[in-house]
Each structure stands twice: as structure tokens, then as C-alpha cells.
Amino acid sequence: MSDGAPGGDAGYDEWADALAEDGYYLSCPAGHGSLPPRRVCPECGNDSLSEEPLPAAGEVVTFSAVHVAPPDFAEQTPYVTAVVEFGPVRLTGIVRGLDADEVEIGTQVGVDVTRNEATGNRLVVFRPR
Amino acid sequence: MTGVRVAGVGLTEFGEHAGRTGRDLFAEAANVALRDAGVDRERVEQLNYGNFMGALAERQSHQAPLMAEAAGLHCPATRYEEACASAGVAVREAVRAVRAGEVDVAVAGGMERMTNLSTERVTESLAVAADELFEVRAGVTFPGAYALMARRYFDRFGGDQTDLAHVASKNHTHALDNEYAQYQREVSVEETLDAPTVASPLGLFDACPVTDGASALVLVSEAAAQRHDLTAPVAITGTGQGSDRAALQDRETIAETPAARRAATAAYDDAGITADDVAVAEVHDCFTIAEVFALESLGLYEPGEAVGAARRGETTRDGELPVNLSGGLKAKGHPVGATGGSQIAELTRLLRGDHPNSEWVSDAEVGVTHNAGGTVASAVVHVLEVAG
Ligand SMILES: [Zn+2]
């Protein structure tokens, strides 16, 4: 059981905290969406970033059922990794509550933060809705 | 600005080198390259060395001076790390140094030791090339990331696993006579389709193997080639690099690789050529789908058109545009930090006529190499031409 990555969890906690509760993303005055932690907009460099509510439902953009995994995820195989679009931002996480053959491009999911049982690390997951 | 010639190339066999150190592998490649070039060691003014995971695989960072020592070189030595594009960047920076007139003779290449790690540890080590915060912690593996790209590509443009299996089969056929290749054996389309899934839609035979190996090039200015009467008929006439957002989720598109398109555009402009001039290519097929992305980014195919190229017989050795005559990463092997140098070594041999597959491209004057880092957050493209 490790507790977080060697580099520490400061950045990741900020990211996981942003997704927990109601969830938010960051938006610059030009409307570029980005994910925290973030000091400047990666598109235009503007450092005036506001927290905007993350849409409750997102759409699967792409996915894969992973059969060979690193040690931190080996106990969960096969698991479905997906990239999901929530309005102006896209998130990457693991799909829970659907089998691999039930996931399609376009499947509607919500986002949640849980724990990776193998490591105790916080984990971004998507659930059907 | 002076032109740059490839005076010598050196490779180790790619495969499993149990019991050999990384420094021994690189020393072999550099030794072969210097002998091939006919250049005295004392003339080498700079070593540019690519390596990705030495700190994990051999508990050894700060490898460049160590490799200079192992190769008997006495010159400034620098390690370049850009994941799987590490050697590509090392070569590019050597080309720029020669062109700038700062050095007349440089050695560039790379090395990776991988087979001493378990599959789980290799998977973990390669994943370090992805975005730790947004991808690695979400369970994204290296094959998993390319699987996400493949699924998106199929959805947008069409194509299927059989198309990709033809890429695998083609590259294995190309490797049959390549003495440096890890797999000198045929793999059929059926075998590829029947292989176990690694990350759907990609199977075990869509992936390149885990490989130990090293590559080295001796790059010289045109003036030095003349002064020392070197036989160096192949010139590097174009170099280009592109970068992109680290995480797939943040890219402008997941069904294309814009960083490689930027690298190709820059390299073609640099060389004063267009995609139509390219007669042969060595591209970064770490997974079968990656060859498809490469060919489209290089402008050799329109987006959506390259997936069927191997199946249609266009990129096979007897096709209009032979791709990966070395066997590619898929069959020749992929020692991550050595690959970018290996591609240029193979293309140089192909163009100067001493490669086992040279007969298939005997009229070729212009070739390109495409070396990608991670899921193409980094890309380096070089144009090589027969200069006579
Ligand atoms: Zn912005």
C-alpha cells in the first residue's frame, strides 16, 4: 500500500477536490476551458481564471478495455478507461457500473471521485446516468 | 549554413541482451558508427545521447558522460529525453549544432535497456511518458492511450482491426532479412487478429516488443566530409519538431497527431521539399495504429486514408511508397531511447544501397523519418536525401 505518488499529492488533491462535491472547471475571459490545478490558461496564457460548474452529464469520446495494467491497477483488469467530454473540457477516468461491451462512444456518464483500492489513491470514475 | 552529412551509422542487434549493460550496448553502436564513418575519435566534438528510462531500468541518470567514456570519446556529452523521441531530438540538436558551425563532427544516438524489467514494471515505466496527473492516475497505460486514439480514429474515419493487422504483417515481412531486427519472422494477419487483447481494440501483435538496443550516427559538416575525404552520400536536409498538450483529453483532436504534422511541415520547409517528393519512410509504429497516424501527419495520405494503405499493398516493399523497410518498431524492436537514431541509420543504409531491403528503393532520392514521443506530445521529422 503506497500513499500517493513519489512526487506527492498536492496537485492531484486540488484536481480531485475540484471534481468532488458539485465539480468545477476553470474558464478564462476568452472562454477557454481547462482543468485545475492551473495558473494560466493553457490556450492564451491569461491568468484570470474563474471556477465554473462542471456539467452533470458528459459524453464518452473514446474508450478502451485495458487488459494489461501496471501494478497499481493490476487487480482491476479488465477495466474501461474513457475520455469524456463535459462541455468545454474533457476528463480521463475509469468507467464503473457498466461492462466493457455496454460502453459506446456517446454513452452518457457522470463523474465521481473514489479510491483505488490497491493504493488508497483517489481515482476519477465515471458512472452511467 | 553548412549542409550535414551522415558519415557513419552503427546499431546493436535489437532484442534481449541479458547480462549486458547499457553502456556496453552504446559503446558497440558508437564503435560501429565511427568505423563506418572512417572518422578518428579525436575529431568528435559533441555527443548527443538519447535515453528515456535509465533511471528506472538501470538506476542510472546522468548517462551522457558515462556513454562518452564507454565509447572512448572526449567531448561535451548531453542526454536528451523526450520519451520515445529522445534520440530523434538528440539527432536534431546535433544537426543544428553542425549547421550553426559550432562543431564539424558530432555523434548522436541513444540506448535503452528494458528487458531486465518485468512486464508490469515496463508497463509502469512507459506510462511515465503520459500526463501523471490526468492520465497515469486514471489507469491509462501506453497501449491504453493508443487504444483510445485508435477507437476515436475508427469512429471518425472508419477502418478496423484487420486493416491494422496488415500493418503488423507487412512490417514483420520487411524485417525478415534485417540482421538487426528482434523478430526476423513472418506474422500473419490471422495470428495478429487472434492474439490476446492488451487494450481494446489493440492486441498483443499490434504492439512493438520490449527491446534492448543502441544506435549511433556520425554527423559531419559538408566541409569536414570533403576535407577528410569521407564517403558520406546521404545528407540530412530537413529537420522539424512539434509539441502538443501532454494529455490526450486536452488535444485539439484525438483522431490525428497535430504535433507530427507540425514537425513534418517544418522539416519539409527546411529541406525545400513537399510530401510528393518522399519515396520511402521510416515511421514510429510503436503500435500498428501509430503508423497510420504517422503517414497522415507526414502528408503522405489524407486524414482517414492511411489505415488501409498496408492492406491495399501501397506501403509494402513492392508498393508505391514502402514504409518501414527496416521492420519498423513493430518487428525490428523499440529500445525507446535509441529508436530515433536507429530510424536514420536504417534510412541511410536504404538510400546508400547497403541495406538488405535497398533493392526495393533503388531509385529513391528522398526519404523521411518520423519519431514520436509518448502519444505524440513530441514529434521529430527528418528529411534525408541522396546528395551524391
Ligand atoms: Zn484562454
Residue B183 falls inside a structural domain? no
Please compute the mean of the pLDDT values over residues B192-213 and round it to a whole number: 97
Indicate the pLDDT class of residue A15, thresholds 50, 70 and 90.
confident
Whether the predicted pLDDT of B203 surpasses 50: yes
Please compute the mean of the pLDDT values over residues A71-75 and round it to a whole number: 89
Closest residue in B to A121 (Cα) is: B137
Q: Can you give the CATH number for the domain in which B47 is found?
A: 3.40.47.10
Closest residue in A to B134 (Cα) is: A92
From ligand 1's centre to the CA of A50, what distance in Å? Answer: 11
Q: CA-to-CA distance for A16 and A10, rounded, in angstroms?
A: 10
Residues around ligand 1, an ion, CB closer than 5 A: A 28, 30, 32, 41, 43-44, 46
Tell me what the pLDDT averaged over chain B comes to.
97
**A46 CA to chain B: closest CA distance, Å?**
17
Over chain B, what HEC string results? CCCEEEEEEEECCCECCCCCCHHHHHHHHHHHHHHHHCCCHHHCCEEEEECCCHHHHCCCCCHHHHHHHHHCCCCCEEEECECECHHHHHHHHHHHHHHCCCCCEEEEEEEECCCCCCHHHHHHHHHCCCCCCCCHHHCCCHHHHHHHHHHHHHHHHCCCHHHHHHHHHHHHHHHCCCCCCCCCCCCCHHHHHHCCEEECCEEHHHECCCCEEEEEEEEEEHHHHHHCCCCCCEEEEEEEEEECCCCHHHCCCCCCCHHHHHHHHHHHHHHCCCHHHCCEEEECCCEHHHHHHHHHHCCCCCCCCHHHCCCCCCCCCCCCCCECCCCHHHHHCCCHHHHHHHHHHHHHHHHHCCCCCHHHHCCCCEEEEEEEECCCCEEEEEEEEECC
ipTM above 0.90, yes or no: yes
Residue B71 falls inside a structural domain? yes
The pLDDT assigned to B163 comes to: 98
- For the entire predicted model, the pTM comes to 0.97
Closest residue in A to B121 (Cα) is: A70
Could you report the per-residue pLDDT of B84-99, keeping only the tens digit for each?
999 999 999 999 999 9
Count the domains in chain B: 1
Residue B102 near chain A (CB below 8 Å):
no
The pLDDT assigned to B65 comes to: 98
**Could you tell me the domains of chain A?**
1-54 (no CATH), 55-129 (2.40.50)
Residue B297 falls inside a structural domain? yes
The pLDDT assigned to B287 comes to: 98
Quote the domain boundaries for residue B336: 4-117+209-383
Helix (H, G, I), strand (E, B) or coil at A71: helix
Tell me what the pLDDT averaged over chain A comes to.
90
Record: contact B124-A42, CB cut-off 8 A: no
Residue B141 falls inside a structural domain? no
Residue B177 falls inside a structural domain? no
Task: Order the strands of the A50-53 sheet from edge to edge.
Answer: A33-34, A24-27, A50-53
Nearest Cα residue to B244 out of B235, B232, B253: B253
Residue B137 near chain A (CB below 8 Å):
yes
Least trusted range by pLDDT, from A5-9, B127-131, B275-279? A5-9
- Residue A5: list chain B partners with CB under 8 A: 132, 137
